[in-house]
Amino acid sequence: MPGQPREESLAEQTLATPAKRWAREYETIYILRPNVGTEDAEKVSSRVQGVFEQQGGKLTKVDVWGKRKLAYPIGNHGRGIFVYLRFAAFGEIVAELERNLRLLEPVMRYQTVRVVDDVDLEAVEVDPAEVDFGEFEPEEDDEFEPTAAEKLGMVDEEAERARAEAREAAEAEAEAEAEEAEGSEDDDAEDDDAEGDDSEESEGSEDESGDDSEESDDDDAEGDESDESDDDSEDDDE
C-alpha cells in the first residue's frame, strides 16, 4: 500500500546479509637443520607465531618431534629436526606461512596439508599449553662429511638418495656379518664343551679299567695265600 514500507524479499535479505566465511583446518610440518642453534630455532618459532597473530588464524597444536632420519639427504644433512603444527585458518594464511618458512635459512623443507573443511574459526578454542614451542637445545651434529662434488653443488638429489641407500646397505651388511661371526663363536664354544664331555668319559673309563686291574691283583694274592695254606697242611700230615 502507498505510504507503507515495502517488505524485503527473502532473496534481497540473503543478498544484504554477508555470507559466513568458513575456515579450514591444516597441518604443517617443517624441518630444521639438525645443528640449528637455539637462537635460530626460536627465530623460526617467533616468525610462525607472528603470522597467525597478524593474519587472524588460530594455532591449536605444536609438537616438536626432535631429530629424525630423513628419507633422503637434503643438502649435506641426513637428519633434521621435525616440527608439527595444526591450525585453523583461511587459505591466504597458509600462503603467508609458507612464504615465511621459505625465507628462513634454518628451514630445510616444509609441507602443508588440508585436513578439515568448513571450520568455524570463531568457535575454535586454543589451549596455551598445546601451542608452546618449548626451548630448543642444540644437539651434536653427527652428519656425514660431504664429498667435494657435493660441496661444489655438482650432485643432484637423485645421486644423494642413491648414496644414502648404498650407505644403509653397507651398514646392514656389516650388521649381518657381525651376527654371523657371533653365531660361529657360539658353535665353537659348543664344540669345545662336547670335547670336554668326551674327555671326561674317557677318564671315567680308564678309572674303571684301573679298578678292574686292582681287583684282579687281589684275586691273585688270595690264590697265592691259598697255595701256601695247602703246602703247610701237607707238611703237617708228614
Answer yes or no: is 62 within a domain: yes
Contacts of 40 (CB under 8 A, 6+ apart): 32, 105, 106
Is 132 contained in some domain?
A: yes
Whether residue 103 lies inside any domain: the answer is: yes
Q: Is residue 189 part of a domain?
A: no
Number of domains in the chain: 1
User: How far apart are alpha carbons 57 and 86 in whole angstroms?
Assistant: 11
Strand partners, 66: 82
Reported residue count of the chain is 238
Is residue 156 included in any domain, yes or no? no
Does the residue 14 lie in any domain? no
pLDDT at 202: 54
Is residue 84 within 8 A of residue 27, CB to CB? The reply is yes
**In whole angstroms, what is the distance from residue 33 CA to residue 67 CA?**
9
Question: How is residue 238 annotated by DSSP?
Answer: -
Please report, for the domain that includes residue 75, its CATH number.
3.30.70.60
Residue 72 lies in a domain: yes
pTM, two decimal places: 0.52
Look at residue 46 in the predicted model and tell me its pLDDT.
92
Residues with Cβ within 8 Å of 92's Cβ and at least 6 positions away in sequence, in order, are 55
Range of the domain at 132: 19-137
Q: What order do you get walking across the sheet with 77-89 strand by strand?
A: 58-74, 77-89, 23-32, 107-119
Phi-psi region of 228 (alpha: psi -120 to 50; beta: other; left: phi over 0): alpha
197 in a structural domain: no
Mean pLDDT, the chain cut into blocks of 10 residues (238 residues total)? 58 61 92 91 93 90 92 88 93 92 94 90 88 72 52 63 81 84 70 60 54 54 51 47
Position 236 scores a pLDDT of 47
pLDDT at 135: 74
